[in-house]
Structure 1
Amino acid sequence: MDRRSLLKGVAAGALAAPAAALLPAGAASAAPAAFDVLVGDITSGRIMLFDRNKAFTSANVKWSLDPAGGHPMEHRFRATDGDGEILLVAAGTTTSGTASIYRRSDKQKLWSANVPNYPHCIERARGTGVVVVAGRSDGGSGGTATGGSLHVFRPQNKYSSSLVPAQTIPFHQAHGLLWDPQLDRMWAIGGSVLTAYRIETTSTSAKLVEDTARRITVTRGHDVQPDYRDTGRLLICETGGVHAVDKATMKKTQLHDRDLVKSYVQHASGEQMWTGAVADGNAFGTRYVHFNLGTTRPVETAGAVVYRARIDTTFYQ
């Protein structure tokens, strides 16, 4: 993702008309699926949960959180043995950021850590409880930007509050993470790479070890998500389009050629949900969350800019 400026972005991102749907118009005849959507508003810094089938207005917010630390770049629910359901949050600016964990039931902050670059994602590995934060560099722009890291934190017991730093490894323009329970791998995307890591732990250590057989080339990778309808593949966003990746063969197939897609996922019903920026608008995105079944939901708060939208679920399998 390019270095961003909000100088003209708030106006352009908030007012930009919805882009064309990613699926053919014929798909709009089906009934929309029922699920909840978690969005982060870059402008206000607020994370909000909405019913997919209701207007994304303040009156319809089902759950919300106002984390400190800057732009909410990532927000996803996960299940734990020690703390119940938690919210993972990555928030920051181009020069610094914070990774945090909140308990969903009472919004209590359980853990946080500062990272020395711009955090774009946070993920937790089920089983080990290891948490990984992906941060891109704070210098350069577009394809010229350098740097980026994966920050690894290990738990000392079953509670999130026990997380301590374990490892930091270079990863050019790290943007996205996804724990894969089928393969026991942590997927990471950014810069020119999509790859997977094993997590090796002892009683006093945790580290990522790359599974080089699952490494492929991408073009300025932005996001990696599961396909909830097909657990044999990943869905990735990169500059120039959206692709599916077969996890067995690592073959990449283009699904859509729309540029500037920031998040993309397919619900178990088959419905696709995505967010994206528009040319000459805010580089983070617009105020719209798009669905392929003929619906585009604007987040109706002043100057809202949505970077990523996530389905309300704790994991996939």
Structure 2
Amino acid sequence: MDRRSLLKGALAGAVAVPAGGLLTAQPASAAPAAFNVLIGDVTSGKIYLFDRNKPFTDRNIKWSLNPAGSGHPMEHRFRATDGDGEILLAVTGTSTTGTASIYRRRDKKLLWSASVKNYPHSIERARGTGVVVVAGRSYGSGGGAATGGSLHVFRPTSGHASSLVRAGDAIPFHQAHGLLWDPRLERMWVSGGKRLTAYRIVTAASSAKLVEDTARRLDTFTRAHDLQPDHQHPGRLLVTDTYGVYAVDKASMTKTRLHSRRYVKSYVRHSSGEQMWTGAVEDGNVFGTKYVHFNVSGVDRAREGAIIYKARLDTTTYA
């Protein structure tokens, strides 16, 4: 199991970390927070929804989907819309192919899909405009060898996802990996390579474009990876890179290291304070392990036979 090499350090206001590197579990009398978890399994290519307080077995699957396109499920998140109800945003891909897709949650109807010319790692929708952005790194092997990357922008021509069309050429972004829409600032955050930055979305009757807010740029990461909100502290972002997990204060654009574990593939803090994460191990599969870890309650959930790349909260809340 992976617990011996888990996250070091602690979130501000959280309990201290013992010598073994684990966050202290909650008191036995405290019931673990109840929420659902959406995982992407590289082995099967499928996306599954589970109750975090039950084993991740077939009998406990609450919802599942085999997304469009071939390859690995790299991103999967629920969002709320006026025209289509609750939707799932997903990207799948390999080092040579990539597909972005949107499904209606209630009946799994495919509403839209598009191919992208790189290895997509994330997809996000801007509330209000309905603009969808896909982030992908270059073809080829990962790590420092992936020298390119780009952002693909799609704009709706009506109030439905099925109307999405490309909005201009792809925007170069080195090793683009993470996306998060920020409704408080009305910015699209992007992470990849050494950079975390924010973009304004400028729309007109027949166009949509990203304009970087350079005052919100940090170039201090080492192969930045996941990008998530802190649901207990809406004023900060949670960013992972090769060497750790960080909190970024959105007002001051200052970065604080929270944990020093390497190869964390996804990390989020629930409103209860629970920390949920996935990650790879040295000499193991580069995408991750069969585990989703919950640090505060000290629980690991395994999906036998799976390689879990990212775990997402079952929520349509951005931050």
TM bin, normalised by shorter chain, reads: over 0.9
Distance 1:117 1:164 in 2: 18
Per-residue deviation, 1:19: 4.7
Partner amino acid, structure 1, of 2:123: I
Q: Secondary structure at the match of 1:111?
A: strand
Which of 277, 282, 302 is the matching residue for 2:280?
277
Contact 1:21–1:291 (8 Å) recurs in 2 = no
Q: Secondary structure at the match of 1:221?
A: coil
Distance 2:120 2:217 in 1: 22
Aligned to 1:138: 139
Relative to structure 1, the CA distance from residue 19 to residue 102 in structure 2 (aligned partners, 3 Å threshold; closer, same or farther) is farther
| Count of residues paired in the alignment | 300
Partner amino acid, structure 2, of 1:26: T
Relative to structure 1, the CA distance from residue 312 to residue 141 in structure 2 (aligned partners, 3 Å threshold; closer, same or farther) is closer
Per-residue deviation, 1:316: 3.0
Aligned to 2:73: 72
Partner amino acid, structure 2, of 1:279: E
What's the CA shift string for 1:103-148, capped at 9, x where partnerless?
Answer: 0000000000000100000000000000000011013542132110
Aligned to 1:103: 104
Relative to structure 1, the CA distance from residue 223 to residue 201 in structure 2 (aligned partners, 3 Å threshold; closer, same or farther) is same
What's the CA shift string for 1:19-73, capped at 9, x where partnerless?
Answer: 5443634333243100000000001001000001000111100000011321000
Contact 2:278–2:310 (8 Å) recurs in 1 = yes
Distance 1:35 1:144 in 2: 38
Distance 2:238 2:267 in 1: 7
What's the CA shift string for 1:67-123, capped at 9, x where partnerless?
Answer: 132100000000000000000000011011100000000000000000010000000
Distance 1:68 1:159 in 2: 19
182-191 or 26-35, which deviates more: 26-35
Contact 2:181–2:318 (8 Å) recurs in 1 = no
Aligned to 1:178: 180
In the TM superposition, what are the counterparts of 1:1-317 in structure 2 within 5 Å?
17-22=2-7, 24=17, 25-29=23-27, 30-69=30-69, 70-167=71-168, 168-217=170-219, 218-292=221-295, 293-300=297-304, 303-317=305-319
Q: Secondary structure at the match of 2:59?
A: helix
What's the CA shift string for 1:245-293, capped at 9, x where partnerless?
Answer: 0000000000000000000000000000000000000000001000011
Contact 2:68–2:101 (8 Å) recurs in 1 = no
Partner amino acid, structure 1, of 2:135: A
Relative to structure 1, the CA distance from residue 238 to residue 248 in structure 2 (aligned partners, 3 Å threshold; closer, same or farther) is same
Distance 1:19 1:41 in 2: 23
- Which portions of structure 1, spanning 4 or more consecutive aligned residues, are displaced by more than 6 angstroms? none
Aligned to 1:13: none
Q: Secondary structure at the match of 2:24?
A: helix
Structure 2 runs not aligned, ≥5 long: 11-16, 18-22
Partner amino acid, structure 2, of 1:237: T
Structure 1 runs not aligned, ≥5 long: 1-15
Aligned to 1:10: none
Percent identity between matched residues is 70
Q: Secondary structure at the match of 1:150?
A: strand
Partner amino acid, structure 2, of 1:35: F
Q: Secondary structure at the match of 1:120?
A: strand
Partner amino acid, structure 1, of 2:143: G
Contact 2:6–2:261 (8 Å) recurs in 1 = no
